[in-house]
Structure 1
Amino acid sequence: MSNWYDTPLYYDIIFDEDSQKEAAFLETLNAQHGADPTAKILRILEPACGSGRLIAALAQRGHHISGFDLNSHMLDYAHQRLQKQNLSAPLWQDRLEDFTLPTTTPPFDLAHCLVSTFKYILDDLGPTSHLHHVANALRPGGLYILGFHLTDYSDQKPQHERWVAEREGIHVICNTHTWPADRSTRQEKLRNRLRITRDGQTTHQETHWQFRTYDLPQVKALLKSAPQFELVTCHDFNYNATAPLKLNHTTFDLVLVLRKKPNPNLIPTPSNSPPFPDSIV
C-alpha cells in the first residue's frame, strides 16, 4: 500500500475543492491586517506546499509565490501543475523546522500553513524554530496564517473524518481515523485510508503517522516562545475573514493570524505582553 503523500493526484482530488476559497481568505486577511493592506500583488511563502494547489491558486491571482515541501513526489506534482497552467514559482525541498530560503530572496508579505501540517513537527524545539524561521522570512508587519486542530485531552473517543471527491473519472474516498491523544508525549496517532476507483479498477492505500498535540494553554506557550509575532485575530476552518473567532474551551479548529512586529528591538518580554489579546480570549 502506498503512502498518500507519494501519490499526490489522489491527495489533491480530495483537498483541492476549497483552494480558491482559501486563496480569497488569505487575500482578505492581508487587506485587513497586513503591512500594506492596499497591495494587490503580494509576495507569499507556503511552507509544506504539498501538491501545489494553493501555490497555483494564488499565482493565478497574480501573486509572487514561493514554497517548499519535504516530499519529492509532491514537489514534482506541483511543478507539473504549474507548467500545465503556464505559471511559475520557486519550489524546493526543505523541512518546516529549519528551512533555508534561496539566496537573494526578498522578504515576504505573507506566509501560510493551513490544515494542521504544522503538527508534523513532533519535538519540543522544532515548532519554535519554525516560527523563528518564518518570522525571519517576513517583512516587518508581514502575516503568518497558521491553521491546525486543537486537542481535547479529556476526550478519549477515537475521531473519524470522511471525504469523497471525483475528478476526470477518478473517484476517491478518504477516511481518516485519529486515536485519543497521549497528554504525556503530546502525540496522537492517525491512519488514513484511500479507496481509489479508476478505469473500472479499485485500489486501496493506507498511511499511518503521528501529530504533535496542542490545547489552548499549549498554544499560548508556543506563541510566548516566538515574541517576534503578535496575535492579531483568530478564525476557524470555515475561512470566513469577516467572522473572527472567540477562543474558549470549545475551540478546536483554529487559524491564527500572526503579525511580525515592526521593530524586533522593541519586542516586549512575555511577562508584559500577553500572547492572546483581550478581544480574542
Structure 2
Amino acid sequence: MHLLVLAARHGRLLLVAGLVAGLVLQDLAQAMRAWLPAMVAGLILISAFRIGHRQAMTSLAELPRLAGAVLAFQVAVPLAVALACLALGLAGTPLAVALTLMTAAPSVAGSPNLTVMAGGPPVPALRMVIVGTAVLPLTVIPAFLVSSGLGGPADLLYVSARLTAIILAAAGVAFWLRARLLPAPEARQVQAVDGASALLMAVMVVGLMSAAGPALTQEPARFFTWLGIAFAANFGLQLLAGRVLRGRDDRTPLAIIAGNRNIALFLVALPPEITTPILLFIGCYQVPMYLTPLLMRWYYR
C-alpha cells in the first residue's frame, strides 16, 4: 500500500521514466509490443475499478453533451483536418495520414489516469473512452471519404468491435470487483489505485516507443521533426479545447482527450502500406501524451 501511494504521488515522474526507458531500452521495447493489448485492458480495468459503476453511469440528462463531445472530436475535427490537407495539396502524404488518423481515433485508454494526474475528474474521460470506441466504425466514415490513401472504413469494423468488447468486459469485471471488495474506499486506498495505474502506464509506454528509439539514434533529424509535429498536434488541440470548454465542469478531461487519442488502434486495423510511414509519428506521439500531466497541469489549474 505504501509503495502504491508513493507511486501515485510521483506518477508524473514515473511516466517520464517510462518514456526514457522506451527510447534507451530498444530491445525491451520491441519485445513488449506484443503485450500492449493486455496492458491496455489492464489499464481500463484499473480506471474503472477506481471510479466504480455508480459514478460511471451516464444519466439521460448527460447523454446529449456526451454525444456532442464525441461527434465534435471524432467527426468534426478529423473532417476539418482532412479537408485542410486536401486544400493544401497534402492529401495522401504521411503528415496528412498521421493527423487525420490521430484526430479520428477515440480517446486513449489511459485518459482517466492522465486526467487524475492533471487534477481533473476521471469519470467523463472513462465515458468518452467507452462511447467513443463503440461508435468508431461510424464516426470515421466522413474523414475517410474525404481523405486519400486511407482505404475504406470497413476494415475498422472488426477491430473496433473487438476493442469495444475488451473495454466493456474489463469495465464490467472492475465494477463487480469494486462493488464486492471496495464499495466505500478511503482516500489512501484511492491513492493506491492511482499508483497502480501510474505504474502500468509507465511500463506500457516502453512498448509504445518501439519505433522511436531506433529513429533517435539513426535519423535524429527525422525523429525531432516528427516529435515537433506530435507536440504541436497534441498540445495545440488541448489548448484549443480548453479555451472552448472554459467554464464547464468536464473541461479538463475533455481537453486532455482532444489531444490524446488512441491512434495505435489503427495499427491493427489498416494494412502495413498505410501505417508503416507513420510508425515514427505514433512513437513520438507518446511523448507529449505522457508529458501531459507534467507540462499541462498548470493550464488545467
Bigger proportion of residues as helix: 2
Q: Verify same fold: TM over 0.5.
A: no
Q: TM-score by structure 2 length?
A: 0.27
Query: More strand per residue: 1 or 2?
Result: 1
Q: Kindly indicate whether structure 1 or structure 2 has the higher relative contact order, using CA contacts under 8 Å at least 6 residues apart.
A: 2
What TM-score do the two structures reach when normalised by structure 1? 0.28
